[in-house]
Structure 1
Amino acid sequence: MSPVWSRLLLVLCCLSPAVFAETPLRVAVAANFLPTAEVLRAEFGAERMTLHPGATGQLYAQISQGAPFDVFLSADQTTAQRLYDEGKALTAPQTYAIGRLALWTPGQPAPEFSQLAGFARLVMADPKLAPYGAAALSCVQRLVPTWQGQWLKGTSVAQAHQMLISGAAPAGFVAWSQVLTAPEAEVRLLPETCHAPLIQQAVLLKRPAPHPAAQAFWDFLFSPTARQQIAAGGYAAP
């Protein structure tokens, strides 16, 4: 072994475990919840964690393939339960938020649901990847069964939101939390009876070495402080 490598090995051996523990907590978060997760991150300590947003289905695939996430904030119950059943989670799923689906027509008053039959295009998140997309599809099938237009699909509800901002279609379905600051006339909440409840659950994920901050964040996520922030973000707190 060369002198250089010998010195490097000596330095690494002398480093305390605390140095390695400074690696930020990695939280996989459903795209719809990202704005609220950013607020929680600031409360918990921004330097202590990183957020990795995506569609719930995409994040599940990444976790299944070994992505080094410590916590998963899913947009549904099914995916979190699936990870637990597959032995990839340390904790049973726990509800952290309950979402609402909204119809949004940027720059225009939101129509009655029956009027959607006259729209040629609507935006939603891909129902195969995103629970909010599945909810949108269910509501259109129940409320506007005669609609024969074109779906424009984002890979996540965050991308669907961006598609509406860019004018890809005049109307579409997003999480209510994404349009809290939009003019009230542009937003219409979907009846919760037209889709499965948007119950969002979290799990602590199994890692070879559990992150020292994982349990602290888990406890914080279900604290009164976090619940207040979640409610302010447009969700019902459990």
Structure 2
Amino acid sequence: MIHRMSRLVVALSATFALSGAFAGEVQVAVAANFTAPIQALAADFEKDTGHKLVASYGATGQFYAQIKNGAPFDVFLAADDTTPAKLESEGETVKGSRFTYAIGSLALWSAKEGYVDDKGDVLKKNAFQHLAIANPKAAPYGLAATQVLEKMGLTAAVQPKIVEGQNITQALQFISTGNAELGFVALSQVYKDGKITSGSAWLVPASLHEPINQDAVILNKGKDSAAAKALVEYLHGAKAAAVIKSYGYQL
């Protein structure tokens, strides 16, 4: 009996050692708008693959600069398709790994119930003191916000009232804390399972800004990483797609 138990312990130890040898860690640069979805996906990814996902959040433009300066990321989940394409053309990525993992939506949001109407007329009335957006030079959602204002002919009127966040998360914080009455955010930040989670919002028509195609790519550091390849495969799957769509993204 003792010998049998000893063999079982050895067998189990070997199994755990083998699974540990194949399990890895993937360092991911994640566009700030995708914070909630990737956090929701991380646990299932680890459970299903054995690999651990370690995410850093920020503006796409800032991540570009960090990657060019040698930041240790394996995978980049951007908020646009141009930045990953640029990195690809500069030889910073694994060839053939780039793909669109989500198409983002923009929302005009206020933490106040009933403050933002469902047509965005609150912008035209211009009765607010501050309008928050993400830095358009670094954050694609901030750029989309400026395109909306331009299309609506409101750029000059609201320009003095704009407060810029470094990324879309900071823009959301300005609104959440009341430092801005309203602002442009990623729909995914204020939406879950078919409804706005708090406050009031206008879902900005896609026709008012360029498409927010969000691309993912494996960076050179992740070239030989099984965890990086597993994450990309996971993001292609139906399970991940369901989670991503639940936050208001299109696929």
Counterpart selection for 2:216 from 179, 202, 221: 202
Alignment map for 1:151-166 (pairs within 5 Å) = 151-166=162-177
C-alpha distance in 1, partners of 2:248/2:222? Answer: 35
1:106 counterpart = 2:111: yes
- Aligned partner letter, 1:95: T
CA, structure 1 residues 214+107, in 2 after alignment: closer, same or farther (shift >3 Å)? same
- Aligned partner letter, 1:163: F
SS in structure 1 of the partner of residue 131 of structure 2 = strand
Whether contact under 8 Å (2:28, 2:73) holds in the other structure is yes
C-alpha distance in 2, partners of 1:162/1:201? Answer: 25
Alignment map for 1:83-122 (pairs within 5 Å) = 83-92=87-96, 93-109=98-114, 110-111=116-117, 112-116=119-123, 117-122=126-131
Alignment map for 1:162-173 (pairs within 5 Å) = 162-173=173-184
Whether contact under 8 Å (1:114, 1:143) holds in the other structure is no
C-alpha distance in 2, partners of 1:115/1:208? Answer: 46
1:3 aligned partner: none
1:174 aligned partner: 185
2:81 aligned partner: 77
CA positional deviation for 1:144: 4.1
C-alpha distance in 1, partners of 2:191/2:224? Answer: 36
Aligned-pair identity in percent equals 38
1:64 counterpart = 2:48: no
- Aligned partner letter, 1:98: I
1:223 counterpart = 2:237: yes
1:128 counterpart = 2:143: no
SS in structure 2 of the partner of residue 213 of structure 1 = helix
CA positional deviation for 1:143: 1.2
C-alpha distance in 2, partners of 1:121/1:151? Answer: 6
C-alpha distance in 2, partners of 1:91/1:202? Answer: 12
- Which region of structure 1 is more displaced relative to structure 2, 174-183 or 211-220? 174-183
Identify unmatched segments of 5+ residues in structure 1: 1-15
CA positional deviation for 1:23: 5.4
Whether contact under 8 Å (2:111, 2:199) holds in the other structure is no
Identify unmatched segments of 5+ residues in structure 2: 1-16
RMSD value, Cα: 2.3
C-alpha distance in 2, partners of 1:22/1:62? Answer: 26
- Aligned partner letter, 1:223: G
C-alpha distance in 1, partners of 2:197/2:85? Answer: 36
1:7 aligned partner: none
SS in structure 2 of the partner of residue 141 of structure 1 = helix
C-alpha distance in 1, partners of 2:222/2:176? Answer: 42
C-alpha distance in 2, partners of 1:183/1:120? Answer: 24
SS in structure 1 of the partner of residue 221 of structure 2 = coil
CA, structure 1 residues 41+188, in 2 after alignment: closer, same or farther (shift >3 Å)? same
- Which region of structure 1 is more displaced relative to structure 2, 201-210 or 47-56? 201-210
1:39 aligned partner: 40
C-alpha distance in 1, partners of 2:244/2:210? Answer: 20
TM-score, structure 2 as length reference: 0.81
CA, structure 1 residues 185+48, in 2 after alignment: closer, same or farther (shift >3 Å)? closer
- Aligned partner letter, 1:70: D
2:205 aligned partner: 191
- Which region of structure 1 is more displaced relative to structure 2, 184-193 or 70-79? 184-193
TM-score, structure 1 as length reference: 0.86
- Aligned partner letter, 1:113: G
Number of residue-to-residue matches in the alignment:
222
CA positional deviation for 1:58: 0.7
